[in-house]
Amino acid sequence: MSYASILPLLLLFFTLISGSSLLASNDASGSSDGGGWVGAGGDTYTNSNNPWFFKFGNYPEDNTIKYCIKMDRQTFSSDPATAELLIKLSFQAWKNEFAAHHAFFWRDIDPSERYKSDEHTNFPLIEIATEELVRRDCADPELDIAFQFGVLETYQQRKLQEMEINPRDKVALAVRTQYDEKKLRAKGFIYFSPDSGKMRVKGDEKIEIIWKYQKIFLGILKHEWGHVLGVTHDVKPSSIMNANMPNNGVSRAVFEMMQTIYPDAVMGEVNAEEANKAKIGIFLPHDFQWMTCSPIDNSDLFSEKKMKTLRTFLQVSAQEAKCIFFDIKMDRINIETADTFYGPKKQLGVIEIPQRNEDDDGPITRPTFLSFSIKVVVTNEQEVFSTLATEDSVLYNKLLYGPFALSLNYHSFYDNGVVRKKIIVNQTSGFGLEIIGALDNAPEIIFRSPLMDM
């Protein structure tokens, strides 16, 4: 089997080893009911896609999300303590993601001036995932969101049926049940299919017991949190928010392949310390690791010709660098070598990532805004932004913006302590990496990841 033929499965593999997770959910289209019940994942241009919670300036005063847990221990293979841990870790990944994005967007603006300048008043950016999670009893009238593991109430089943949504078609499903058009804040629940019983998700090809695998569980939670936070489905196959990820991720065939190729990606307990630092990798280029080794076959993805070009530029022999790793961080790319994928790594060199624009001939970072991935349609009844709604404001058109996906393009240097070579680096949000350098006085693509456009 060639690398090219298994690329869709490798997408899952790289998603896992990069700190993101394997799974998503197959969510309903954005059917709505008077601003109330909405199945997350739809793309209609209404408030059905608004984030359930957000922050803007000092709003809201109570910046918490109150949640509860319901679990059927007879049909669901996990336990409440594990579920609570994974709920917190999956939300923390989004907090880390948006914190990095907010820091990048506001990097040149004094915190006290963020909502005062004409630029940012007329182009307001809401902040996402700044809340603290507070667990409450499910009967609490102030509850914001219920996590329902193998539990779907009769009235919920009936309402979903009216919306033409069959929960047995879903691994998991985020449903908004109430929307306060004055406060622009929502309530709802996230349903997770049981492992057994009449409500188990359809399909004999799926893993028999899904939720005992913590890393799969964590991935699905990340996806569903994404919808709660206003993130719609992503077309990139490598994205945690891709609509088709669950069908691949919970299939027995993919699971068995992952057990063979990289068992740590799906087996064992989640490392809470590492997961607490993870990001999602949708809105900014991801912290992740790319690896390329001497090819197993003649696939164009990892051909010997491309390996030779890379080694020539890095000034390293095939014996010295059977495998080359690009360990990508927010401020640098470490380049390392090893004899095998699992072997000990040796530092070869580094590429510095400039953090802001510089003048003249210095390194230049050019952020390219790809799309506004989170939008808030402001209702006529809203009372949150009334003081800002002027004719010159974006709010005049009843629209607010949240974080957007972006790519980075910058001039830098490859430095191995002996030589220092000029390069151009392109990073796309997610997993894309392209390095352009000079060989024989001509520009050459030194490395381009298969996920550059994915």
- What residue spans define the domains of the chain? 4-275, 288-367+405-448
The tens digit of pLDDT for each residue in 153-162 reads: 999 999 999 9
What is the token pair recorded at 318?
């095939």
For every residue of 389-454, DSSP letters joined together read --TTSGGGGTEEE--EEEEEEEEEEEE-SS-EEEEEEEE-SBS-EEEEEEETTEEEEEEE-TTTT-
What is the token pair recorded at 131?
């809340």
pLDDT category at 86 given cuts 50, 70, 90 is very high
Q: What percent of the chain has pLDDT over 90?
A: 30
Res. 172: pLDDT tops 50: yes
What 3-state DSSP class applies to 8?
helix
Q: What is the pLDDT of residue 150?
A: 95
The tens digit of pLDDT for each residue in 269-292 reads: 998 888 888 888 777 665 666 777
The mean pLDDT value for 170-177 works out to 91
pLDDT category at 38 given cuts 50, 70, 90 is low
Residue listed under structure tokens 């607010």: 400
The mean pLDDT value for 84-88 works out to 97
Evaluate whether 86 touches 92 at the Cβ level (below 8 Å).
no
The tens digit of pLDDT for each residue in 27-36 reads: 333 333 345 6
pLDDT category at 386 given cuts 50, 70, 90 is low
Res. 395: pLDDT tops 70: no
Query: Highest-confidence range of 2-11, 126-135, 204-213, 232-241, by mean pLDDT?
Result: 126-135
Share of the chain residues as helix, strand and coil, in percent rounded to the nearest 5: 25, 25, 45
The tens digit of pLDDT for each residue in 307-358 reads: 888 999 999 998 888 888 888 876 788 999 988 877 889 999 999 887 554 4
Amino acid at 251: S
Q: What is the pLDDT of residue 302?
A: 57
Evaluate whether 145 touches 131 at the Cβ level (below 8 Å).
no
Reported as half-sphere exposure (CB side, CA atoms, 13 A), residue 107 has a value of 10
Reported as half-sphere exposure (CB side, CA atoms, 13 A), residue 328 has a value of 26
Q: What is the pLDDT of residue 431?
A: 64
Q: What is the pLDDT of residue 450?
A: 66
Query: Highest-confidence range of 7-11, 146-150, 361-365, by mean pLDDT?
Result: 146-150
pLDDT category at 117 given cuts 50, 70, 90 is very low
The tens digit of pLDDT for each residue in 397-443 reads: 566 777 776 677 788 899 999 989 999 888 776 567 888 888 888 88
Q: What is the pLDDT of residue 279?
A: 80
CA distance 390 to 76: 51
CA distance 190 to 224: 7
pLDDT category at 108 given cuts 50, 70, 90 is low
Res. 391: pLDDT tops 50: no
Q: What is the pLDDT of residue 160?
A: 92
Q: What is the pLDDT of residue 155?
A: 94
Res. 135: pLDDT tops 70: yes
Evaluate whether 144 touches 66 at the Cβ level (below 8 Å).
yes
pLDDT category at 111 given cuts 50, 70, 90 is low
pTM comes to 0.75
What is the token pair recorded at 31?
């059917």
Q: What is the pLDDT of residue 189?
A: 96
